[in-house]
Structures are given as C-alpha cells and as structure tokens.
Structure 1
C-alpha cells in the first residue's frame, strides 16, 4: 500500500521534473497516448489531461553488472519510492519488482530485468559486446537532485546502437532482449487508472469497449482483459507503437516501441461499505499480478505487432 514519506519538498519537485520529462518524450513517440486522450476529451470523459490518474509506469533493463534493477532503482528510491514485491517470469527469464510512491498522487513504478546469463551463448555474446564497457554503475555518477540530468540520462544511450542482424538474432530468442538492446531505458508504458473515470468508462470492460469502438488495437495475449486470481486487478493494453529504428551501418527496420496500459483496481472487501466519494487509492487492490504482467509484456512481441 502506498504511504506518504517525509521526503523534502525539493526531492518531490525534482521527481515532478523527471516524470514530466519522461511523459513528454513518451507522448511524442507513442501517438496512441494523444489519440486516447483526445478520444476521452471528445466523449466528455475528462475535461483535461490532469483528470487522468497514472496508475504506474514501467521500465525494462538488462541484468548485467553495473546495470539492471540494482542500478536503476537507485533513481526512484532517492525520491522516496519503496521497494515492494518481487516477481519471477521463468519462461521469459525476467525478474521484476514494483515500487510504491512517496505520495499517492505519484505513479507506482514497475521495473524488470533480463536474466542475461540464462540466454544462449550467442545471445549473451551480443549483449555483453555492448554492455561490457560499462564497468561502473552510471547512476552513481548522476546528480539525482538535478531533474534535467536524470531526464537526459533516462533518454540517452548507455551503449552503442546494435546492428540489425544482432537485433534480429536476439529477437528470435528473447523479444524482451531485442527491445532493450535498442530502446534502452526508454519508458516502456504508462497506465491509465480507469476506475477513476466517470461511469460508463470506469470498468476495464467498458473501457476496452470504448477503445475498440475508437479503433485502437489491443494486446490479446491471454485475452484482451487480464484478470488476477482475486479478480481485483484487471488490466489491458494497446499493441506497441511501431517505430522506424536506425541500426548501426545505416540499416533500418520497423520495430516495436512503447504502448499504453489500462488498469482497474477494485475496492478491497473491507472497504466496500464506503461511499464512492470517500474511496481513495489505499482502499483499492494494490501491487501487481505476475500472470497479468506476463501477458502485458507481450504488447511489444511480434505475435501482437504483426497482427
């Protein structure tokens, strides 16, 4: 459950700057974001962008020395985020954790990493070719109190651009690995909290129907709506935006970029007596569900983008 910390105001202001930078660049490269917002405005579901609650944002990393979750999490722990549950995705060879925010108004953060040593020798060779020159944790040299510096870091390449052939080799074995080798720390997705929208749009079923009516393409891995065993966390997502990737040696190819997710967090049983006007984030199902997340990952997979 999210809890308010006593983090100094200047750290929260820095966090605001980092999140603003992430979202502004993300919106530029994922047209579906503006398309969905425009559709919500058009139907009178929201009056402005600020009416949308960002449930969580997600990042992907490489589990190699000096990088991965152990490095990446330092950024958001600095701003008062608290590390929560661990998730194991054995088939995809991933670890993940989620982090609760310093104040309920901020998004949760979900960070995953590829267990590189579980890949084939060929795939490991490609990844280490690009990451072996990172011998010190780059976050340690970053001024975490400088929002512009952190924003720039999250959008700058930490290693050289791979060749198209290397990307395709990784793609055959781990589509996650291929995504990260090209996109690096780029924001993987942000998530609209549908339960805070007006009636007719505030369940995942209603929202999916709205998206499909508007022509948005949804990830149907495991069904368009992913439901946790307790039926309290329901999620859906668009299929990743395809981008024109510029690989080494001037080669180009359209590949998966980022996408948009949608979440409905239902009110916990012990709070269902509360009137709707009193329901806050802490009254709803928190955290994540490995089964749901496993299928959401596939929003960037060719099984979805090639449909």
Structure 2
C-alpha cells in the first residue's frame, strides 16, 4: 500500500501538481503531514471505469463506503476506506457517458479503444499518465461539453489531488487560516461556492488551491492546461464521538471546479 501511494505522490508532484511540494513544505510542522484522501478520475466504461480504478486499492484492503451523484456534472463517485484509520481515503469518480452527447461518447471511446485491456489490469496505470494519443482539437471539443472529460482525456490517470488533514496542524485551526496563509504565499484558492466549502453541521470543511497549469503533449504539439491541485480538509466529531469520514456532495461538487480555467 505504501508503495502505491508513494508512486501516486511522485506522479502527482512531478506531472500534475508541481506546486504541491511547495505547499507541503509551507505547512509541514514537527510531524509529517497526514494525507486525508486522494481523488482519481475516469470514464464510465467497463474497460477503465470505477471497478478498474478501485481494484488496486481493494487488493490492499480498502472497502467501499459512500456513494455520490453529481447530476449537473454527470458524475458518479464512491469513496473507499482502509481498516487502518491512518490510511488515506480514496475518492474515485467517473463520467457517466450515457448522459453525454453522442459526439463526446464517440470521441471518448476512440481514445479508450487505443488501449489494450491488459493495460488497465496493471495497477501501474494509475500513475503513468494518458495511454492514448489525443489532438488539441479533440481536447477542446471534449472540454467544451465537460471540463471533466477534457481533463481525463488530457492527463489520463493519476491523483488529481492529495489532501492535507488540517486537524493535525498546530499553527492553524481553521481552514480559512490555511487559505489566507497560502494566498499570502502566492497561491490561488478555489472560490467556487465560497473559499471554505461545508461547515461544522455537515461535519466536514474543505478548500483547495486552483490547479497548476502544466504542459501536456498532444498529437499536434504541447499546450498548457489545468493539472492537479492541493486540497485541505477539516473533519468534525459525530454525535457518537467518532470522526466523520465521508464526503459532502455539495462541497465535492465545487472542489471539482479547482481544475476549471480561471
């Protein structure tokens, strides 16, 4: 399990969100930062859908816990937890292609059909980027209808974000304090639905940086597009005294927009 997350972190900081290393350094105190969760994106097709992405995590002990629907964005998601409470949660979403235009479905299937089934059977696909050739024209076509589709087409697989658990921090108690500190350090914070998403009543507060712009190689040249971002989470105790481990659809919906172009 440690190796899987180490590879995901390496890919995330080298390819998708290079600024994450600087954020991590700014917020690290005496103890290593705790990663609350990671998030992965995919297309809702049997070859590369939810079950494929979840399999490597289930193989090391993760179990499905929550289900989420994002009607406007045409996404379905689940989150997975490990029996070890210190292990990061895993949030996996997929684009429901049947709800998209015929043109988008056709282009996505063309991408996925470039890849052999065996490719997705090796857990390493989770941190090796996009396995297909893609033109900037097709990227723009997909992105115009679904920013999520454009993102997956451009980047393939990898953690689109890691998440710092701020419950452990001593310097900061509130998410708003973390946001202010990072803004003063030159980082843009996702303002969709407010800089702080959620509240103590729903037992989870979240915020995120806006995604780094990273260079992606398309079949007709390189282009800068939104990559990954860094998230921050504060969890609250439930009435039974246990900390809340789920996710809040309304908040997660806005976190997705961290990869939108500003």
Range into which the TM-score falls when normalised by the shorter chain: over 0.9
Report what 1:153 is aligned to.
125
Measured on the aligned residues, the alpha-carbon RMSD in Å equals 1.8
- CA drift of 1:239 comes to 0.2
Unaligned runs of 5+ in 1: 1-14, 143-149, 272-282
SS at match of 1:170: helix
Question: In 2, Cα distance between the equivalents of 1:240 and 1:246?
Answer: 18
1:297 aligns with 2:256: yes
Question: In 2, Cα distance between the equivalents of 1:238 and 1:196?
Answer: 19
Contact residue 171 and residue 178 of structure 1 kept, 8 A: yes
Question: In 2, Cα distance between the equivalents of 1:206 and 1:289?
Answer: 21
| TM-score between the two structures when normalised by the length of structure 1 | 0.80
Moved more, 99-108 or 233-242: 99-108
1:11-30 alignment runs, 5 A limit = 15-29=1-15, 30=17
Contact residue 38 and residue 88 of structure 2 kept, 8 A: yes
Contact residue 66 and residue 138 of structure 1 kept, 8 A: no
**Which of the pair is proportionally richer in helix?**
1
Question: In 2, Cα distance between the equivalents of 1:89 and 1:181?
Answer: 20
1:98-109 alignment runs, 5 A limit = 98-109=79-90
Report what 2:215 is aligned to.
244
**Residue from 66, 69, 76 that aligns with 1:85:** 66
Deviations 1:59-89 (Å, cap 9, x if unpaired)? 0011113111022111111110010111011
| TM-score between the two structures when normalised by the length of structure 2 | 0.93
Question: In 2, Cα distance between the equivalents of 1:177 and 1:139?
Answer: 18
Report what 1:35 is aligned to.
22
**Which of the pair is proportionally richer in strand?**
2
**Residue from 54, 57, 61 that aligns with 1:73:** 54
- CA drift of 1:159 comes to 3.6
Unaligned runs of 5+ in 2: none
Contact residue 66 and residue 134 of structure 1 kept, 8 A: no
Contact residue 200 and residue 236 of structure 2 kept, 8 A: no
Number of residue pairs the alignment of both structures matches: 261
Report what 1:257 is aligned to.
227
**Residue from 78, 100, 104 that aligns with 1:97:** 78
1:225 aligns with 2:206: no
Question: In 1, Cα distance between the equivalents of 2:47 and 2:63?
Answer: 21
Question: In 1, Cα distance between the equivalents of 2:222 and 2:162?
Answer: 27
Deviations 1:95-130 (Å, cap 9, x if unpaired)? 000001131121000000001121111111111111
1:47 aligns with 2:33: no
Question: In 2, Cα distance between the equivalents of 1:67 and 1:268?
Answer: 35
- CA drift of 1:185 comes to 1.1
Contact residue 60 and residue 185 of structure 1 kept, 8 A: yes
Q: 1:240 to 1:124 in 2, by over 3 A?
A: same
